[in-house]
Amino acid sequence: MTYAISLEEAQARYIALVEQAAKGDEIVLLRGTTPIARIVPPAPETPKPAQRGIQFGMGKGSILFMANDFDAPPEDFREYM
pLDDT digits (tens, 9 = 90+) for 40-55: 998 888 877 776 777 7
Please name which of 12, 7, 10 lies closest in space to residue 30, comparing C-alpha atoms.
7
Neighbours of 19 (CB within 10 A): 11
Q: Quick check: 76 pLDDT over 90?
A: no
pTM: 0.53
Domain boundaries, the chain: 2-39
pLDDT digits (tens, 9 = 90+) for 7-36: 999 999 999 999 999 999 999 999 999 999
Look at strands 34-39 and 2-6 and give their pairing: unpaired
Euclidean distance between CA atoms 77 and 81, whole angstroms: 7
Amino acid identity for residue 48 in this structure: K
CATH no., domain 2-39:
3.40.1620
d(C-alpha 9, C-alpha 77), whole Å: 84
Looking at residue 25, its pLDDT comes to 92
Question: What mean pLDDT comes out for the span 50-62?
Answer: 72
